[in-house]
Amino acid sequence: MNAQSPRIRLFVMDVDGTLTDGTITYTADGLELKSFHARDGAGIKFLPLANITPAIVSGRASAATQRRAAELGIETVVEGVADKLPVVDRLRRERNLTWEEVAFIGDDLTDIPPMRSAGFSAAPADAAPEVRSIATYVCSLGGGRGAVREAIENLLRAQGAWDQVLDGLGVGA
Ligand SMILES: [Mg+2]
């Protein structure tokens, strides 16, 4: 990405291994537990301040994901997706965006096709090696440990939107 790149307008996230550390815990009564990171959540809330829409495209359907998305105001959540590229392409076309205006962060092999197409892609530090090797940006933090926040901050700085976000939060210089 450089200064000439179109600005990202849609930021699509994988869930397991990206917004979480990949652990899926089942309780005795059948509930599914996932752990999310507070700073990832805060970072996702920065996106609208820079006119970027957050979205989730996940391979698995989970009540925990739906609850986290609702808490963070993520309106676009597509779950149970085996083939992510056509789904992200649909979200892109619905918004009249070019692929250059789409960002995708993911950790595993099914994330590679949308990452290759996107104008900006990121991988957590502990993503699969094949994913790290094609990502625009490889995070120093792992999935569920602040990688999404790191990627968002990197993206916003690269687009010159970080100061705008700080001003929006009332913590600008
Ligand atoms: Mg994943």
pLDDT the model gives residue 172: 84
DSSP summary character for residue 20: S
- Provide the mean pLDDT of the chain: 95
Spatial contact of 2 and 49, defined as CB atoms under 8 Å apart: no
Q: What is the pLDDT of residues 92-138, one digit of tens each?
A: 999 999 999 999 999 999 999 999 999 999 999 999 999 999 999 99
Q: How far is the CA of 14 from the centre of ligand 1 (A)?
A: 5
SS3 assignment, position 53: strand
Structural domains of the chain in order of their starting residue, each with its CATH number? 10-163 (3.40.50.1000)
Write down the pTM of the prediction. 0.95
Q: Tell me the CA–centroid distance for residue 2 and ligand 1, in Å.
A: 27
Q: How far is the CA of 80 from the centre of ligand 1 (A)?
A: 12
Please give the distance, rounded to the nearest whole angstrom, from the Cα atom of residue 152 to the centre of ligand 1.
17
| H or E segment to which residue 78 belongs | strand 76-78
Q: For residue 55, list its beta bridge partners.
A: 12, 76
